[in-house]
Amino acid sequence: MKRLLLLFSIFCSLSILGAQVEEPPTTEELQALLATKAETLDSLNGQLKSLTKQVGALQKEVDALKDKVTPYPRWRAKLATTLGFNVSNYSDWLLRKPASLSSATIAAAGRVVLRLDQKRYFWKNGARVNLGWLKFDDKSNPEDDAGFQPTSDVFNAISMFGWRINKSLAFSSLTEYRTSMLNGRFNNPGYLDLGSVGLAWTPTPDFSAVLHSVNYNLVFSREEFDYKSSLGAKLVVDYEHVFAQSIAWKSNFSAFASYENLSELSNWMWSNNLSTGVKGFGIGLEFALRSNKQEARAFEVSGNPLQFFWVLGLSYNLSKKL
């Protein structure tokens, strides 16, 4: 028995020593292994590219079949909303002045789109509203205004009719209206663009670019400032896309270039909406840029500052085919 134990101990010791003295693979062996792995990877990448092409071709066939079996007229409605809010209260907080105050902000943004598609023509309508209020109450000052004051205030509505020339090009007619809504600012000023026959490029259902070389920008106002209407060109670009993980992006750019005075009477606005969520609910970000020199002159602001606002909060999106 002792001899067996001794032999077993010697065998274990020799095994450990053999493992310890095992030589690492040589450079040639590693290069051969690398070449084998690289060859396998190239083969898998080739298969992946082939499958990707097949999936793309099959998707086009499925889309074409869906288009053939979907009856006309085709109505589609979309709704997107974003709501943001913040509330704070300080009482004798000595590190800030005033030390006692309460504040609150409320911001809301909404967008609705209604589209009709026929074989020979389409009709697209949309409206967007962005409203915000701010409350700042200095508790040590009984004479300050403790109510909510408007911050962002935008309303925009657009209607476009297109008669198809081919699959992606159409003759179009465009009407767009922009104004504010709060504090007596509705239609004060208000901008109405009336476009005659122009061209609309719609290479995909999610993208459209409209150019009208003859467009009249009519400005309404009850203020002392003399807003001027003028004839010019109108460009509207509309795009939307859904990325992975249900991240949706909606972008709209609208610009008017005056033939009468390009630098003084022209204006543009670029608005964007980003949202993500599950079953329509999630987080939304609404932001917009605007330039309008006539507004800067009316409010006695030097130069033509870039106007900007954003709203971040809870969002709800709904898309439905009617």
Q: How far apart are CA 288 and CA 315, in angstroms?
A: 17
pLDDT at 214 over 70: yes
Closest CA to 76 of 13, 118, 22, 120: 118
- Residue 201 burial (CB < 10 Å; 0-12/13-18/19+)? middle
Q: How far apart are CA 40 and CA 52, in angstroms?
A: 18
Rounded (to 5) percent helix, strand, coil in the chain = 25, 55, 20
Which DSSP letter does residue 68 get? H
Q: What is the pLDDT of residue 15?
A: 58
- Report the pLDDT averaged over residues 283-296: 90
- Check residues 200 and 147 and name the one with the higher pLDDT: 200
pLDDT tens column, 108-136? 888 898 999 998 999 999 999 988 888 88
Please report which confidence band the pLDDT of residue 4 belongs to, taking 50, 70 and 90 as the band edges.
Answer: low
Give the rounded percent of residues in the chain with a pLDDT score beyond 90: 36
- Residue 263 burial (CB < 10 Å; 0-12/13-18/19+)? exposed
295: three-class secondary structure by DSSP: helix
